[in-house]
Every structure is written in structure tokens, then in C-alpha cells.
Chains A and B, each alone.
Chain A
Amino acid sequence: MVVFQKPHALTDTPFHYCPGCTHGIIHRLVAEVLDELGIEGEAIGIAPVGCSVMAYNYFNCDMIEAAHGRAPAVATGVKRADPTKVVFTYQGDGDLASIGMAETVHAAARNENITVIFINNAIYGMTGGQMAPTSLPGQVTQTSPYGRDVKACGYPIKVCEMLSELDGAEYLERVTVNSVPNIRKAKKAIKKAFQNQIDGKGFSLVEVISSCPTNWGMTPQAALKWIDEKMIPYYPLGVYKDRSAEKEAQV
């Protein structure tokens, strides 16, 4: 009896991710959702620039590699070309919240009917650990060697909180994947973000608080603990916007 297997929506290409990185878990969750909703054949994924740049090799659906930060604009084009397709972006914090912030905000404001999987690990991983727009105050990185000084470089950007002010956005939830119960909750949120698109509800973004043991300079276990101790207090988990649920509650 098969009790556990690789989702069909993942290819056989081995992940290039570092040991302990949670990208692998999140890729799997997205692929499981594509399988369960039966949408792999209709899905088009947009990969970012950053650690998950090669996501196009890992998902079995059609994939597009976008320029840094531009995935929501590319997704807009793909979705407008054929609104019956299921279009998702998979982006890191530098990609989505720094160079691509305009594209993110405006896709949300337009309530573009796409799904955004946003990986927040508070650092630029691919380029070797520079300060991200989501790096915590005091966080030591290659480009904030004395710790992020908020007087000089400002404060981290809380994406879900910020986007929740937009009338356009349909669904915004922040989850993490540092424990089995949290992974289950994350999958539920990702599934809802895809189901919303299928139901024509609009812009749905799931922010996944993720770990980067390599660039945080920690063991994988310590990194998962750091999520609980440092990341979640700054980035509280939960639903920041669920317009359809709000409407139902009003009725």
C-alpha cells in the first residue's frame, strides 16, 4: 500500500535548496494543492529571481521565469490572455517586497485573479545573505553587519498588513512551516488561495514565514526555533483579509 509519494505536480528534478531550507516543504504543499484541485494541466506558474528562481524545473505545470520582482505583472498578462487558466507566482521577500513592490501592490489593487505564494525568510538567500526589506531590526546580514539599524535603513515591511488596506485584495494570510501543525495550516491557506482563483474571487496571497539556516548562520533546528522566537512576534500569523468571509459575516 502506498502511504506517501511525491505529488504528480512536482517533477523528478532534485531540489537545489540548502539543507534545512523550507522552500522544499512549500513547493510540496503547492504541488499537493495542484494535485488535489486537479489543476496541474491548467496551471501556469511564474518563478521569481532569488533562491526559487529554478522553480520552473520543479513544477510539472507550464512555467515562466520572470524578471526580478515582475512576476505579478507577468501573471497579469498570462491571466488576461486566458482567464480560464490558473496562474500563480512564487516569490521571495526581496523579489516581492523590494524591487517588485509596485507590481505587488497594483496587482492586489486591481484584484487581479491570481494566487501569490510569498516566501518571507527575512534575507536575500541566493546572493549570499544580504539585508531584505523584511529583515528584522537588529538582524545581522552581509549588508547590515552591525545589525539592521532602523535609523539608517528603516523598518521591515509587513506585507500582509500593508496590502490589507487595499480594497482590491481578496485574501491575505500569513502562515509558517516550522512545525507539523503549522505546515497543515499553511497547506489549508495555500489551497484556499488557489480555490479563490478558481471561484473567480481575486487576488489571494499567502505569506509563508520561512527559514534560511545557511544565511542566518544557524542549524536547521535553531532556525525553526528562531521563527517562533523572533519572526512570528514581528510578523504575527493569521488571516489579514478574507473579503468573501467578511461579506458572509455581514449577511
Chain B
Amino acid sequence: MSEKVLMKGNEAIAEAAILAGCRHYFGYPITPQTEVAAYMAKKMPKIGGTFLQAESEIAAINMVYGVASAGLRVMTSSSSPGISLKGEGLSYLAGADLPALVVNVQRGGPGLGGIQPSQSDYFQATRGGGHGDYHMIVLAPASVQEMAELTVKGFELADTYRMTSMILADGTMGQMMEPVALDLEVKPMPAKPWATTGTGMKRPHNIVNSLFLQPEELEKTNFERYARYKTIEENEARYEEYRMEDAEIAVVAFGIAARVSKNAVDEARRQGIKAGLIRPITLWPFPKAPFAKALTHVKSMISVELSMGQMIEDVKLATDCRVPVTLCNRVGGMIPSPDLVLDAILKQAKGGN
């Protein structure tokens, strides 16, 4: 068994990024993701890497754009309001097909909101976040171990598909401490012949660009990108099923909401109610397979979220609205308790809505 170290979720992300070969980090202070930057500030100078506190989130994401253009693994992290500022850069990264890792340790919104945990950037993350037709691969960890593992996975997926991976965590995931095994497998980085590293007078110049003034050409780039997205939807959806084999009530939750929901499912089972949990690990692509399977025996679903009901739309789409889906939520930095989720399950068990 591998040795485990006690770490905060934010620190686990930073350490895993370094293990994945990331040597360039650009950030701007914002709660509750500060530990990522602090960790990088300590570590990067000692391993020949770059830690740079940018003048803004906008500058940070564009520095990411620069390193990504040069073909190296690079990341930035922020929290909700800061991610909004990065929206422009996220769209440009997508338009130029550049791989990068972006971490959003979500806090309550809208506006300046609060600094307590939230999942209310679900739409922003899963629908792209900036202007234009595009997606990011969105990974939702539910433990400190997963914060580390999905960070490595995020870099690998970003490189494989030439796009941004986003770790969509929340304040709880970022701040809580758990034992982590850091013997993570890291696959070698693929070749990047498209990178702007200087021609060396040996090849035609490479251009990293998202401008296509000819509509036919721009349409083609969009079609090609979405063909790639289709491959991702077919191959990269990840999820966990918990006590779903014979479940009649399926709780759907990710991140901290899934941790809470697991307790509620266990208690419901103790009371003789056939409850189970579907935990999407990729929020984009949203995993469809467990829902198709669940429809053969599940009678209703409950979407547990730290938002006013965002993932619930994907749950309804994944089930073609064939079973009723209700929302169980707290917002503004509040976290649903296991009792709140249990109450929602009991209500469904009694046939209520």
C-alpha cells in the first residue's frame, strides 16, 4: 500500500499538477483557492518552474494561453468571480485549440457573492463559460484524492483533445484535509507539432489563432471541433454508481453534494428504502450510461445541488424526462445536510413530489 499524506484539497491539486509535469502556474489571489497559488509560489522556484502572480485573472489566463501555445503543460486557478473574468481567455483557448488546465474552486454568487462553497457555476462550466460554440472537459472531484487524480487526468485529456480541462471543485473540496496517495500514474505528454516554439528555419511557421474571417472556414473549424467533442462524449464520460443495482429512487449529485448524499442513501437503505446514488465525475461530457441503466428500475430522481438547480437540466435530458426529477438544494454558501437529502428521499418514497 502506498504512503498517504494529509493535505488540503487545494494543495493536492497543486502537487498533482507538478507531478503531471506542469511547470508554469499563473494566478491572482481570490478566496477560497488561495492555497493553490501559495503552494505553487513555494514549490515552483525550487524546481525550475514559473509561479507568477498576474495583474488580473484576465492577464493570468492569457499567460496560460502563451505557455499553452509553446506546447507546455500550464494551469491557472481561481474562484467563481475570477473565472468570469477568465471567460474571454477560455473562449480564445477553445478557438485556438490549446490545451490547458483551469481550476474553479467555486464560491457562492452571483456578483461578489460570498466565500463559502457553491456549485452555482455548473452552467458556466458545462456550457463553456465564454462566447461562441465550445466546451471544456469538466471534472468534478468529491475527495482530496480525486482532486489530485483528476488534476493529472485533466492535463492528459487536455493534451489528447487539445482543449481546456476544468476542475470544478468548491470551497469545501478546496479547504478540507484528507489523506492522499500521490503515487499517481502520469502518461507521457503527446508531441505538439503545432506549437509556436520557433521555426528554427526548419519548417513553415506555425500560427496559433482563433480568427477565421471566411465564414465557410470558421464553420469548418466548428464542425471539426464538435466531431472531436463527440469522440469525447463517447469515450471520456466518468461516473460512480453507489447502491444503484436495485434502486427505485436515484439521488444524483457531484462533489460535496455527493458526499452528503451518500450518507443519506445509506440511512434510507437502513430504513428499507431502495435508494442509490449516481455521481457524475465528468460534468461535461455528462455521463448518460448510468441514467439509461437506471431507467429500467428507478421511479424518480432527486438532483442534489449547491445551486438553484442547474445540473437538474442535464439529469432531465439524460433521462428524456421519463421519470420525475426533483431538486434538493441549498445555496449562497450553505450545504445541504444528510437529513435534508434523506427527507427528500423519504418524500419520494411516499410517492410525493
Contacts and interface: CB of A to CB of B under 8 A. Distances in A.
Interface string B50-68: 1010111011101111111
Contact of A80 (B52, B65, B206): B52
Interface string A66-78: 1100100111111
A188 B105 CA distance: 49
B144 interface: no
Contact of B69 (A43, A54, A61, A64): A64
Contacts of A102: 55-56, 58-59
B55 A80 contact: no
A65 B208 contact: yes
A64 B209 contact: yes
Contact of B65 (A43, A57, A63, A66): A66
Interface stretch (B191-199, B219-227, B316-324): B191-199
Nearest to B68: A77
Nearest to B209: A65
A243 interface: no
B64 A77 contact: yes
B277 interface: no
A207 interface: no
Contacts, number: 132
A251 interface: no
B45 to A, nearest CB: 13
Interface string B84-120: 0000110010001000000000000000000000000
A67 B199 CA distance: 23
A75 B66 contact: yes
A63 B208 contact: yes
Interface residues of B, number: 40
Contacts of B199: 40-41, 60-62
Nearest to A11: B205
Chain B CB count within 10 A is highest, among A43, A57, A65, for A65
Residue from A46, A54, A64 with most neighbouring chain B CB atoms (10 Å) = A64
B206 to A, nearest CB: 5
Interface string A12-52: 00000000000000000000000000001111101000000
Which of A11, A79, A81, A103 has the largest number of chain B CB atoms within 10 A?
Answer: A81
A63 B211 contact: no
Given A73-B66, A74-B63, A80-B50, A62 B197 contact: yes
A53 B24 CA distance: 27
B205 to A, nearest CB: 5
B88 A67 contact: yes
B52 A76 contact: yes
B207 to A, nearest CB: 5
A74 B69 contact: yes
Interface of A: 11, 40-44, 46, 53-54, 56-57, 59-67, 70, 73-82, 85, 102-103, 105-106
Interface of B: 24, 26, 50, 52, 54-56, 58-60, 62-72, 74, 88-89, 92, 96, 196-202, 205-211
10 contacts: A46-B66, A62-B197, A62-B198, A63-B209, A64-B65, A65-B211, A66-B92, A73-B58, A74-B63, A77-B69
